């Protein structure tokens, strides 16, 4: 069932608000543009599954259980490779210059009151939108 025009406008407005409020979160959920790479990944994974299936049929015709186990593991690895997305280096760069290393510079660092945590930032935004911001 398609969305009504009013619902579509509301959804578009919410999306614009998300990009304005938290562009990093919006980029994290945005669809990736590497469809050629994912197509290549699916093709390689499917090829591995088909090759493993052929070896599995050969292992059944021969009394070689070990070859059947290897073929099954190859099929499983091909299927997993096809359905998973590659982890790129650009995803690791979203943490900023501090990275994930030592120290308390991450999102759980103590700050003034409740501002350092994820929930604290959400509370601040809620208070700012509703006009109940105590820091005014």
Question: Does any domain span residue 96?
Answer: no
Query: According to the model, what pLDDT value does residue 36 have?
Result: 60
CA distance 77 to 85: 14
Query: According to the model, what pLDDT value does residue 93 have?
Result: 45
78 and 117, same domain (yes or no): no
Low-confidence spans in the chain with pLDDT less than 50: 89-112, 114-115
Query: According to the model, what pLDDT value does residue 69 have?
Result: 92
Query: According to the model, what pLDDT value does residue 89 have?
Result: 46
Question: Does any domain span residue 48?
Answer: yes
75 and 111, same domain (yes or no): no
Range of the domain at 69: 35-83
Query: According to the model, what pLDDT value does residue 116 have?
Result: 67
CB contact set of 5 (below 8 Å; sequence gap of 6+): none
Q: Taking the alpha carbons of 36, 38, 44, 50 in that order, is the dihedral positive or negative?
A: negative
User: In angstroms, what CA-CA distances link 100 with 59, 116, 136?
Assistant: 47, 16, 33
User: In angstroms, what CA-CA distances link 107 with 15, 26, 27, 64, 104?
Assistant: 24, 17, 18, 54, 8
CA distance 21 to 130: 15
Query: According to the model, what pLDDT value does residue 25 have?
Result: 78
Question: Does any domain span residue 28?
Answer: no
39 and 77, same domain (yes or no): yes
pTM: predicted TM-score of the whole model, two decimal places: 0.43
41 and 77, same domain (yes or no): yes
Question: Does any domain span residue 120?
Answer: yes
Cβ(45)–Cβ(78) under 8 Å? yes
Total tally of structural domains belonging to the chain: 2
């Amino acid at each position: 069932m398609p969305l009504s025009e009013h619902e579509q406008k509301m959804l578009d407005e919410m999306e614009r608000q998300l990009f304005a409020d938290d562009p990093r979160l919006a980029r994290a959920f945005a669809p990736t543009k590497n469809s050629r790479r994912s197509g290549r990944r699916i093709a390689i994974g499917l090829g591995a599954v088909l090759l493993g299936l052929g070896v599995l049929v050969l292992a059944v015709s021969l009394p070689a259980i070990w070859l059947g186990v290897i073929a099954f593991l190859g099929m499983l690895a091909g299927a997993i490779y096809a359905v998973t997305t590659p982890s790129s280096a650009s995803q690791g760069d979203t943490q900023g210059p501090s990275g994930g290393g030592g120290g308390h510079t991450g999102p759980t660092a103590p700050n003034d009151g409740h501002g350092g945590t994820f929930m604290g930032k959400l509370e601040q935004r809620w208070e700012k939108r509703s006009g109940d911001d105590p820091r005014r």
